[in-house]
Amino acid sequence: MKVKQHIKAAALATALAASATVASAQDKEPIRFGACFDLSKSYTFISPQVAQAAQDLAMHVNANGGIEGHPVEVVVRDHGNEPQRGVECYEQLKREGVFIFNFLSTPVTNAVLPRAMKDRNVLMQSFVGRGDAVDGEAFDWVFPVGPTYWQQAANDVAFVKGQMGGDLSNAKIGFIYLDYPFGQEPIEILKTLAEKEGFELELYPVPLPGSDQAGAWSNIRRDKPDYVISWLLAGGHVVASKEMRRNRFPIDRYLSVNWLNEVDIANIGAEEAKGILRGTNVAGGQEVPIVKTMLDNYYANGKGSGPESLVRDVYYNTGMAIYSVGFEAARIAITENGWPITPESMKNAYESIENFDGNGIMAPVTVTDKDHGGGGKTRVEQWNGETWVPLTDWSADYLDVVWDVIKHSSATFKVE
């Protein structure tokens, strides 16, 4: 089974790479985005959807005249979640004239970040990477537009507070997480908020890959937290759902990080998953205008960049959100500073984005030279057995607490 999955992933990676450069027949010079993703190893549960969304959006933009008449090219390569391969991808594309990059992997992004900063190239870092990189004064070439894990965790605590009548002083919140950097990322914020709000925080580390959670859930059964915030991935949520049933923990008190998609729901079981909560960075579903456009105008006519099944996935919407912002920055760069786009004009354009939501694909973001995240808004959704239902509006909470941590962390960063 593992061999078949590997072959399938490798074939997908090859297919994506072969069809990675998307452009129309415009004769003007193209705008090139370098997308070095993990298409073959750890992140194959998300990277193909994001790559496909980027290519679809480029196809759509090019079919409608490009960005200020210039076609968009999304150059996709596979780094297999290996930092050295990511660095090599960066260097190769840089030699080819690319200066806008996205790596969709925290370890690879962190490896490339100092180089991009030193080279003064634009690094797209939405939804991955260092939480302090939203500090535009310290990370002036890095754009993690959208909420970081730190902000999402803070917003999750605010949601729990609202569910408990606005008072957490007698509450107990559990945090179950993969015991490596991704899962550990929110701990400092959670500890800070526990001290501020007076709730009891219980930590439940889970070893990679997340298949052994029995001990953690036995402890959860013993401790009886009011809510459990989860920083697990993919199959980890499926294992957690089984452990919740076995330990009689209510699934509607399980609040997942944004990495919980339709495949995970299907693997849990649509009815079994009823009530599960998810903090999300993007609007899900196929009624979002840009996703509906792709399905109606392209996939209905057999013209999409990949399988239609990947469009019906919240991670496709994630890709649409990331590249809608990038393409908007390119538009601003040309309208404000003319052609050619330079790294400097692209940076300035990102910092000029105001109240942009990609026509409903994400929370409105306003990026400044100080805040490269755009506001950090998320919302909480609940699975009702058939679809995700928003329980909150887009909001960002505890901004003062999060930014204190951001500034404390970013103050230690230096480019050698």
H or E element, residue 341? none
Residue 146 or 21, more confident: 146
Span 150-280+378-408 CATH architecture:
3-Layer(aba) Sandwich (3.40)
The two structure tokens encoding residue 6: 């590997």
Which residues are CB-neighbours of 244 under 8 A, at least 6 positions away? 217, 250, 251, 254
What's the pLDDT at 415?
Answer: 84
Identify the three-state secondary structure at position 383: strand
Q: How far is CA 375 from CA 233, 353, 371, 412, in A?
A: 25, 12, 7, 23
Does the pLDDT value for residue 416 go beyond 70? yes
Query: pTM for this structure?
Result: 0.90
22 or 321, which is more confident = 321
113 falls in which pLDDT band (50, 70, 90)?
very high
Q: How confident is the model at residue 136 (pLDDT cuts 50, 70, 90)?
A: very high
Q: Token pair 């901004």 is at which residue? A: 399
Burial of 352 (0-12, 13-18, 19+ CB in 10 A): middle
> 277: which strand partners?
255, 382
Q: What is the tens place of the pLDDT at every residue in 175-203?
A: 999 998 889 999 999 999 999 999 999 99
Nearest CA among 13, 8, 141, 149 for reference residue 89: 13
Asked if residue 356 has pLDDT above 90, the reply is yes
| Higher pLDDT among residues 241 and 21, named by residue | 241
**Neighbouring residues of 315: CB distance < 8 A, sequence distance ≥ 6:** 45, 46, 49, 50, 261
Question: Is it the case that residue 21 has pLDDT exceeding 50?
Answer: no
Instruction: Provide the token pair at 51.
Output: 């790559």
Q: Residue 31's beta-bridge partner residues? A: 72
* CA–CA separation, 309 and 296 (whole Å): 14
How many angstroms separate the CA atoms of 309 and 386, rounded? 17
Kindly report the average pLDDT of the chain as a whole number: 93
pLDDT at 414 (0 to 100): 87
Say yes or no to pLDDT of 26 above 60. no
Cβ contact 103:79 at 8 Å: yes
**Side chain identity at 104, as an amino acid letter?**
L
Within its chain, how far is the Cα of 153 from the centroid?
Answer: 14
pLDDT on residue 189: 94
**What residue segments make up the domains of the chain, in order of their start?**
2-147+319-376, 150-280+378-408
Q: What is the pLDDT of residue 25?
A: 42
Tens of pLDDT, residues 196-251: 999 999 999 999 999 999 999 999 999 999 999 999 998 999 999 999 999 999 99
Identify the CATH class of 2-147+319-376.
Answer: alpha beta
What are residue 288's DSSP bridge partners?
Answer: none
pLDDT band of 24, cuts 50, 70, 90: very low
